[in-house]
Amino acid sequence: MSINLIINKVAERIKDRHLFAIFDRDGTLVPIISDPDRAILHNDVLELLLKLDSLPNTRVAILSARDLAQLRHDFKNNDLILGGNYGMELLMPNQMSWIEPKAVQSRNLLLAAKRELEEQLPEETQVILEDKQLTLCLHWHLTPSEYREKVHSCIKLLKTKYSGLLFKALATSYEIWPYMQWDKSNGLIQITSILKLDLDECLILYIGDSDSDEPAFAWVNNRQGITVRVGQSAESIAQFSVKSPKEVKEILKLLIANIQNS
């Protein structure tokens, strides 16, 4: 039901404007699974994104917590806009890239923190440490209960030691960031300013699944765009919700058909 409401809303609002559609990756285009390496983007979803991007007056961007290297691997060499590390690193359609300078400066600090985590958390803790160059992510969802305290106290210790880094506790992971104010709305601001998008001339559609997408929802809502949160969530400022990445695929199909027939 919700899917039709979203498509109708886009049709009603787009008129002569361009469509700028932004998708988060994990939990939005790809179902979440416990091993992030095995959460693979399927080719049929990629084909739909490319098809949508190829339509006149339409632009597609991916804005993800994953790093740009992973996104490049997934989305291959094409014209989609790719935003890695919450948009702190971007690849634009003409292969022009951009990287947040303040984030680059923190690389050595991050590396030092990474080394300490590797030393202090032995294999039996079963943590997964992702090095995304500009940020680190320490997943502890597989950690046996007897080792969890060790993980939390290790982070606590690093927090006092590295005041130049920002430690964020998520549901079953910690993210370690350069010490700066950044969220996905900053990623959107950067993308739209590089593209020189006239926001009055374009309808923005943003689809994401987690709390890290909420600042982007707020930014898009303020610009009279359309926002969709995927999955069950207690509270969201998104205007619509759908159940799963499967339904996002349905939205993609209907959007394409709708734009082609208009």
Binding residues for Mg ion, per CB under 5 A? 24, 26-27, 209-210
Least distance in angstroms from the C-beta of 143 to Mg ion: 21
Least distance in angstroms from the C-beta of 97 to Mg ion: 22
> 65 or 255, CB closer to Mg ion?
65
> 4 or 34, CB closer to Mg ion?
34
> 225 or 231, CB closer to Mg ion?
231
User: DSSP string spanning 215-245?
Assistant: HHHHHHHHTT-EEEEES--S----SEEESSH
**Closest residue to Mg ion, Cβ-based?**
27
C-alpha span between 53 and 182 (Å, rounded)? 27
> 89 or 158, CB closer to Mg ion?
89
Structural tokens at position 51: 């098809």
> 193 or 232, CB closer to Mg ion?
232
Structural tokens at position 211: 């709390």
Least distance in angstroms from the C-beta of 125 to Mg ion: 25
Compute the half-sphere exposure of residue 66: CA atoms within 13 Å on the CB side of its CA. Answer: 23
C-alpha span between 259 and 124 (Å, rounded)? 52
Closest listed residue to residue 80, CA positions, set 45, 54, 42, 41: 54
Least distance in angstroms from the C-beta of 124 to Mg ion: 29
Question: Which stretches within 58-207 are classed as H helix?
Answer: 68-75, 101-105, 107-120, 145-161, 184-195
Q: Are 209 and 229 in contact (CB under 8 A)?
A: yes
Least distance in angstroms from the C-beta of 175 to Mg ion: 13
